[in-house]
Structure 1
Amino acid sequence: MTVTEQVERGNAGETLEDFTLRFAPRSYRRWGPGVVATSALGGIAYLADFAIGANIGIQHGTANALGGIALAALIIFVTGVPLAIYAARYNLDLDLITRGSGFGYYGSILTNLIFASFTFIFFALEGSIMAQGLQLGLGIPLWLGYLVSSVLVIPLVVYGMRVLSKLQFWTTPLWLVLMGAPLAYLLLAHPGSVSSFMDYQGESGRSGTSLSAMMLAAGVCLSLIAQIAENIDYLRFMPPKTPDNARRWWSAVLLAGPGWVVFGAAKQVIGLFLAVYLLSSAGAGATVANEPVHQFLVAYREMMPGWLAMTLAVVLVVVSQIKINVTNAYSGSLAWTNSFTRITKHYPGRLVFVFVNVGIALVLMEGNMFTFLNDILSFYANLGIAWIVAVASDIAINKWLLGLSPRVPEYRRGLLYAVNPVGFGAVVLAGGLSIATYFGALGETLKPFSPLVAVVLAAVLPPAIAVATRGRYYLKHGDDGILLPMLDEHGNPSAAEIDCIVCAQVFERPDLVASATGAGPVCSLCLATDSSGVHVR
């Protein structure tokens, strides 16, 4: 297949592809800030937070779990701010931002694989929770429930942002009622459950707080740090920021960007509260108390007949799983496609990798990953932290404080070096040392602090390496060879349209680079699939 045929194939069904390798053009971004924010937040309806909160609380006690949740939430919020702003301002997904924020054109493939891993790990986790609900409510065997939960989301993911935005928008009110009503009832009907919750010491039985226990709890919670990348897959469709919509624009970006962790932390606390209630009042065992379907089933039974409680518990699980796993499958397909196309110079389309991502998740589910959830998340957290913190550090420090990194993010092939040691080196060093710490290479005393090792190194190394290299590995060329300005009068990506000389399609100004042949402008997708390199500057 020629470059032209590949690009025409992609553009013929652009609503299916959702600008996989490109920035999101203004002509496609027709949603208001509120709709985009609601769609992004709809993706955090997952029930994994309830299981995470329950697991760390059962293991370390309420006080240590709350401290770990708060610490993780603070780190996730602070690092999410610059990423969300850049995604919404320049309409790029996190992979495209990462390329120009210290990693280089091929260097960011490493972080793409980290993100793809996040999507299939959490797809498998949510699918496992749904299968538990189907088994409890309908008697469906777990292996079949895993298959159903995987296949169910594929038709919804096919049509990309247009369908996903509607799905998230219209199902969010139902989800909020199903989640909030039983919690409110328990608090009103059993006020003593709050004191039982606060006094719970966990399996360790230790009273008071422990810094190492808090850090272990925070490490599990920090595995969710890469969630900002999924929210960004929606935030990149924000409308241009203008004086007329600036207030709504900022509110939407901060709420649906770093603000997601406020809701996530609240769900973790609720999950722990429900688990403690099951253990102390309902006589449940720890192996059941950490399963969200059982948590909500017990709460619903306090309010209504058993048959209705079972029905609503299953509905909550199914709605939650669909809301998050369409996002996991969608974002994972973007990450795999980006990496595959850069490596092979071939563009197979995003839909191929929807099946790849769902298939990997199904294998994890059938392997019963839910039983060793904490171990998986604690290990993954080291890599996720290194990536997100390194990019946030480059944006906040190297771009804005030191001026060593170009302020406007660059992602187009030919303008970037293959690998930039600033971010790539930071992730390798920070991730590698934190994983070594996690496995006890630096001693048992430091083992619980592996997430903190990743945070500190990933924050410090990008400016240190940038200063050492004097920022020389960010851009190969400072000029893309096109005379029209990149940004409009408000600092938004220009909406000026230009024809690509290779595929003869029309693209907006930020998506093109002058061909090295001098024949005219070439779009970023044609550059990505140019195996001969004839157009690459």
Structure 2
Amino acid sequence: MSSVVTEGGRNRTFNKWVNNPVLEDYSLRYAPKSFRKWSEYAVATAALGGIAYMADQAIGGSLAVQFGFMNAFWGIFAAAVVIFLTGIPIAYYSARYNVDVDLLTRGAGFGYLGSTITSIIYASFTFIFFALEGSIMAQALYLYFGIPLAIGYALGAMVIIPLVVFGMSLLSKLQMWTQPLWLLLLFTPPIAVLIGKPHAVADWMSFTGANPAHSGFNPLLFGTAAGIALSLIAQIGEQVDYLRFMPDKTRANRGKWWFAVLAAGPGWVILGALKQWMGSFFASVSVANGTSMAEADQPIHMYVAGFHYLFGNPFVALSVATFFVLLSQVKINVTNAYSGSLSWSNFFSRVLHSHPGRVVYVFFNVGIALALMEANMFAVLDHILGFYSNVAVAWIGAVTADLVINKPILKLSPSYVEFKRAHLYNFNPVGFGSMMFASIVSVIAFFGYLGDVLQAYSCFLALGLAFVASPIVCLITQGKYYLARTSDNELKGHEHDSEIMCTSCGFEYAKKDMVHCPFHTGPICSLCCSLEGACHDMCKTGA
């Protein structure tokens, strides 16, 4: 089922999924006010419900086992500070202009086609972490039911698909209903351990992991640990996929609006860092209770040990731990699958000028994740995350620099977020060039070609290079590659209309989603504009 253009390329018809707002959730476009019917609290709760993943505990446990408590603890802290600070402007602009991270990236220095690369980076984040979470679910199914891992991977993938098909309408309810129970199960085990084993914190702080030599602070191990934790920086994209549905900020709701944006945007990393430290803590508790170092970073073993202190009965502890792991995996993987479907839709709509509907890419994203699970990616988790974080950090660094320097200080980037193809150059060297430069240099450093120090701090190198290069390139180009044409008076006759009919597909959309198209000789929606392959960008002559 794909989009079809009728004779002459002038009129476009979509399958029914694409114009169904419940299924499609206005993917690839501005989220209109008429659809944003949730309160600030509901949006924030749905967004925070998406961070129920166990990857934090797995990463924290893995860092503690590999690098010891001291390096893992401070590496997690350093990464959390970077993630929080870079997440503030991204969350604000996305909530303020009601666009997802891909549309935001287009207007933040990357250009219309330049952001296709970041769509792949973000899509990679969603299926890598879907695979990681699915692996954790399969480990729990194996330990409790004896289900072979290969079958557990498939079950963990298939159960997500029907939940995510209905988009924000179902996800907001799922996250809100399950959040209180999830929070209760998250925090009771560490409290029980601290009560039942008063010396657990002291044992944790002296935990050296698999190498007794890792008892103190080592700058190289700290940098490597921070780099692995920084792979979570792209999580802001998943938070933004919810925040784009925030209601408009007004004088009356200003306080609630800001609190929701900060809590559900960059604020996710506060709980995320706590969960990573918790994973590090439980790794030491698990080892003390007889778990091998090889299995100490698996969340199911962590929580079996934790709930044992609460219930005493091994079977009850295993049962509750299994339930908690399964609940957590469902809560996060619906978000991974949902966000991945948006990202792949953005990528393929621009490359292939076709959009069969967001739902199709749910299956595509889950399929890639399942392949990774079957290939046992959990065994090489740190290597995958360490490499990935260099590219992800370079992307986020370039976007952040544009939002906090190029727009408000240099004033060479438009003050608003322009996402429509008709108004953008295909490539903008400000963001796209800065990201590519920072990524290449940091990846070279990651593989050790620039020495041990830069190898350990390759992610910080990526962040610094991208953040500095963006305003430099912006000054050199004087911002000339942001806007290929202006929007002044292009929708004459519709000044007082809140919605305008698209000349191409015949559906009505919000005015902010429309542009004038000389090829179609009338208003056209941003999605039809993206899918048009016959116009050859005639509206941007000279661009």
Q: TM-score, normalised by structure 2?
A: 0.95
Distance 2:96 2:494 in 1: 16
Question: Which residue in the other structure is 1:125 paired with?
Answer: 132
| 8 Å contact kept, 2:394–2:439 | yes
Corresponding letter in the other structure for 2:285: Y
Residue 58 of structure 2 aligns with which residue? 51
Moved more, 247-256 or 181-190: 181-190
Match of 2:27 among 20, 25, 34: 20
Q: C-alpha displacement at 1:146, in angstroms?
A: 0.2
Aligned pair 1:85/2:124, yes or no? no
- 1:96-107 alignment to 2 at 5 Å? 96-107=103-114
Cα distance in 1 between the residues matched to 2:516 and 2:398: 31
Question: 3-state DSSP class of the match of 1:31?
Answer: coil
Return the alpha-carbon distance in structure 1 between the equivalents of residues 18 and 457 of structure 2: 47
The AA in structure 1 aligned to 2:449 is A
Question: Partners in 2 of 1:272 and 1:233 — Cα distance?
Answer: 29
Q: Which blocks of at least 5 consecutive residues in structure 1 are unaligned?
A: 487-493
Q: Which residue of 2 aligns with 1:2?
A: 5
Q: How does 1:116-265 map to 2 (within 5 A)?
A: 116-204=123-211, 205-265=213-273
Q: Aligned-residue CA RMSD in angstroms?
A: 1.6
Please point out which of 372, 385, 390 is paired with 1:377: 385
The aligned residue for residue 515 of structure 1 is 517
SS of residue matched to 2:295 = helix
CA-to-aligned-CA distance 1:314-355 (integer Å, 9 cap, x gap): 111111111110111111111111110111111111111111
Check conservation: 1:69, 1:221, Cα contact below 8 A: yes
| Partners of 1:516 and 1:534 within 8 A in 2 | no
Show CA shifts across 1:381-433 (max 9, x none): 00110111110111100001100100111111121000001111111110111
Residue 303 to residue 22, structure 1, CA distance change in 2 (3 Å)? same
- Aligned partner of 1:341 in structure 2 is 349
For the residues of structure 2 that align with 1:224 and 1:284, how far apart are their CA atoms? 27
> 2: distance between equivalents of 1:522 and 1:316?
48
Quick check: 1:515–1:535 contact (8 Å CA) kept in 2?
A: no
User: Is residue 516–residue 535 contact of structure 1 (8 Å, CA) maintained in 2?
Assistant: no
Maintained 8 Å contact 1:522/1:535: no
Shift of the 536–10 alpha-carbon distance from structure 1 to 2, 3 Å rule, reads farther
CA displacement at 1:302 relative to structure 2: 2.1
Distance 1:439 1:495 in 2: 56
Q: For structure 1, which segment, 136-145 or 441-450, has the greater mean C-alpha deviation from structure 2 after superposition?
A: 441-450
Can you list the C-alpha shifts for 1:93-131, whole angstroms capped at 9, x where unaligned?
000000011110000000000001000000000000000
SS in 1 for 2:356: coil
Name the SS of the counterpart of 1:286 in structure 2.
Answer: coil
SS at match of 2:515: strand
Which residue in 2 is equivalent to 1:396? Answer: 404
Which residue of the other structure, out of 434, 446, 453, is the alignment partner of 1:445?
A: 453
TM-superposed deviation, 1:495:
8.4
1:431-455 Cα offsets, whole Å, 9 max, x none, are 1110000001112332101011101
Structure 1 residues 361 and 72, CA gap change in structure 2 (3 angstroms): same
Distance across 1 between alignment mates of 2:266 and 2:497: 28
Are 1:414 and 1:536, in contact at CA under 8 Å, matched by a contact in 2? no
Q: In structure 2, how many angstroms separate the alpha carbons of the residues matched to 1:519 and 1:465? A: 36
Distance 2:493 2:245 in 1: 23
Do the aligned partners of 2:454 and 2:461 also contact (CA within 8 Å) in 1?
Answer: no
Cα distance in 1 for residues equivalent to 2:405 and 2:293: 45
Partner of 1:489: none
Are the equivalent residues in 1 in contact too, given 2:503–2:520 (CA < 8 A)? no
3-state SS of 2:75 partner: helix
Counterpart contact for 2:285–2:305, Cα < 8 Å: no
Q: Which residue of 2 aligns with 1:496?
A: 498
Distance, in Å, in 2 between the alignment partners of 1:363 and 1:255 is 34
Is residue 517–residue 534 contact of structure 1 (8 Å, CA) maintained in 2? no
TM-score normalised per structure 1: 0.96
Aligned partner letter, 1:24: A
Q: Partners of 1:528 and 1:312 in 2: how far apart?
A: 48
Aligned to 1:110: 117
Q: Distance in 2 between matches of 1:234 and 1:495?
A: 27
Q: Verify the 8 A CA contact 1:44 1:264 in the aligned structure 2.
A: yes
2:457 partner SS:
helix
Q: 1:482 aligns with which of 491, 503, 521?
A: 491
Amino acid at match of 2:278: I
CA distance in 2, matches of 1:291, 1:46: 13
Q: Deviations over 1:229-278 (max 9, x none)?
A: 00100000000111111100000000000000000000000000011111
Report how many aligned residue pairs link the two structures: 529
CA contact (8 A) 2:182 2:324 kept: yes
Q: In the alignment, which residue of structure 2 is the partner of 1:467?
A: 475
Contact kept in structure 2, 1:32 and 1:239, CA below 8 Å:
yes
Q: Provide closer, same or farther for how the CA distance between residues 495 and 110 of structure 1 changes in structure 2, counting only shifts above 3 A.
A: farther
| Larger mean Cα displacement after TM superposition, 85-94 or 298-307 | 298-307
Note if contact 2:139-2:300 (Cα within 8 Å) is conserved in structure 1.
yes
Paired letter, 1:184: I
Aligned counterpart for 1:275 among listed residues 280, 283, 286: 283
Question: 2:509 aligns to what SS in structure 1?
Answer: strand
Q: 2:530 aligns with which of 528, 533, 537?
A: 528
Amino acid aligned to 1:240 = D
Which amino acid is 1:496 matched to?
S
CA contact 1:413–1:536 (8 Å) conserved in 2: no
Partner of 2:40: 33
Structure 1 SS opposite 2:294: helix
**Cross-structure match for 1:505:** 507
Residue 287 of structure 1 aligns to a residue whose secondary structure is coil
Worse-matched range after superposition: 3-12 or 311-320: 3-12
| 1:491 corresponds to | none
Match of 1:358 in 2: 366
The 1:495/1:372 distance shift into structure 2, 3 A limit, reads farther
Which residue type is aligned with residue 329 of structure 1? A
Percent identity reads: 48
The one-letter code matched in structure 2 to 1:235 is L
Residues 129, 8 of structure 1: CA spacing in aligned structure 2 closer, same or farther, 3 A cutoff? closer
Could you give the per-residue CA deviations for residues 272-299 of structure 1, whole angstroms, max 9, x where no partner exists? 001111123x022111111000110111
Q: Which amino acid aligns with 1:516?
A: P
* SS of residue matched to 2:524: strand
What amino acid does structure 2 have at the position aligned with 1:71? A
**Distance in 1 between the 2:520 and 2:322 partners?**
61
- The answer as to 2:68 corresponding to 1:61 is yes
Which amino acid in structure 1 is aligned with residue 435 of structure 2?
V
Letter of the structure 2 residue corresponding to residue 341 of structure 1: S
